[in-house]
Amino acid sequence: MTPAPDVVSLIHVKRDNTRPLTGAEIAWLFAAYADGAVADEQMAALLMAIFFNGLDGGELRAWTAEMIASGETLDLSHLSRPSVDKHSTGGVGDKVSLILAPLVASCGAAVPQLSGRGLGHTGGTLDKLESIPGWRASLSNDELTRALGEVGVVIAAAGAGLAPADRRLYALRDVTGTVESIPLIASSIMSKKIAEGTRALVLDVKTGSGAFMRDREQAERLGRTMVALGEERGVRTTALVTRMDTPLGRAVGNALEVEEAVAALTGEGPDDLMEVTFALAGHMLRLAGIAADPREAITSGRAFATYKRMIAAQGGDPDAPLPKAGHVRHALTAPEAGWITGLDALAVGVAAWRLGAGRARKEDDVSHTAGIRCLAKPGDRVERGQPILELHTDDPARFAAAADALDSPGTLRIGSLPPPAAPMVLSVISADVADQVGA
């Protein structure tokens, strides 16, 4: 009879990188951690070893499988529509999901989008939607499947029973400096998406100063890893690597982004935002096997009508006025006349966070009204002294800290010529070009 593994020995194996962990060892580890036989400090040590030495293909498959098996999985096979979801690694002004989910649903797909909350300078989809009066993020599984059947789309918080091991491990990674690990990021994202039961998935992997993955090569490596994980579990998966050097669209902050999303659904979205949205929509519809034109869904009004039904199905009033900030101030004036060639997404995101739009800890509250409007962006011509940003907050004492976040020569760049046009989508990673799992 094979003796049970010993967690200290497993830590040594990963620390010294002597051999891969076996599937049986990983299964034992997750069971022992759930039972309390493995302590948080021991799991933290193992996570640090993985941070430095990675997981090979077999380890990553087993690790992800155990995270999925730690909780329940949703069954969407009864739906009359093909299911497809989207996940973004997060950025500044990234309100794509608010537009994309009802847009794709209006074309005939079922979109079960389980989303999260913001942390630091990146916004969270649920925080944005909660600025709509009455809207609620927490739905039971029955409510979720009913909304999918009746409306075709739902944006909600992942239930506590979905990949609960990921919730514990993420909290541990957050306080031990082990978040930035490609295999741990990939298994965290994909375990939840696979458990939610969708049959197809499109990933928006952001890269640039305002993204989690600032380096494009690392972003593409993450995309390849997630595509391979999805495909191996029977989920048709494609990843798009997209730019996040500049805020997406012209609004950053919860209610401000909902307002811009509504404008986009009615045909008045900024070009960069719509370029990313239509690219993702095209791949989602392709994976779902639906021949439809997402642009026509906007111009016909179908997408906006689906959005209103989605909001109402979750208790919200899509026609209610959105909350407004009590204090507004212009900031970041142009030092000279010329063309804006750069506006740093990270600086703008941190400023919006300091105004109250984001949170430092998961348990913190956010302000629905705080945020920033970009009055001008790269490609726009400005005059000397022209304000570039409009700051919104309910607490005027926050203006100084937000202004400090913007007080850097690299935040705003102005040149004598307009910047060259650059595509928002940098690369597309599909199953035929995805690496074998392993990071």
Active site residues: 87, 166, 173, 188, 192
Phi, psi of 208 (to 5 degrees): 130, -175
Q: Are 427 and 220 in contact (CB under 8 A)?
A: yes
Please choose, from the candidates 359, 52, 346, 355, the residue with its C-alpha nearest in 3D space to the C-alpha of residue 182: 52
Cα Rg for the chain, rounded, in angstroms?
A: 22
Residue 314 to residue 358: CA distance in whole angstroms: 23
Q: Are 10 and 25 in contact (CB under 8 A)?
A: yes
Record the tokens describing residue 88, joined without a space: 């973004």
Task: Give the number of other CB atoms < 10 A from CB of residue 417.
Answer: 8
In three-state form (DSSP H/G/I as H, E/B as E, the rest C), the secondary structure along 281-310 is HHHHHHHHCCCCCHHHHHHCCHHHHHHHHH
CB contact set of 279 (below 8 Å; sequence gap of 6+): 240, 242, 424, 425
CA 294 to each of CA 107, 241, 358: distance values in angstroms, whole numbers, following the listed order: 7, 20, 31
Q: What is the DSSP string of 47-97?
A: HHHHHHH---HHHHHHHHHHHHHTSB----TT-SS-B-EEEE---SS--HH
Residue 261 to residue 272: CA distance in whole angstroms: 13
Q: Are 401 and 354 in contact (CB under 8 A)?
A: yes
CA 412 remoteness from chain centre:
25
Amino acid at position 164, single letter = P
Residue 355 to residue 372: CA distance in whole angstroms: 9
**What is the dihedral angle through the alpha carbons of 126, 130, 132, 134, rounded to the nearest 10 degrees?**
120
Q: What is the DSSP string of 357-409?
A: IS-SSTT----SS-EEEESS-TT-EE-TT-EEEEEEES-GGGHHHHHHHH-ST
Parallel, antiparallel, or unpaired for β 387-393 and 327-333? antiparallel
Which phi-psi region, left, alpha or beta, contains residue 379 (left: φ > 0; alpha: ψ -120 to 50)? left
Residue 282 to residue 288: CA distance in whole angstroms: 10
Please choose, from the candidates 81, 86, 102, 209, the residue with its C-alpha nearest in 3D space to the C-alpha of residue 154: 102
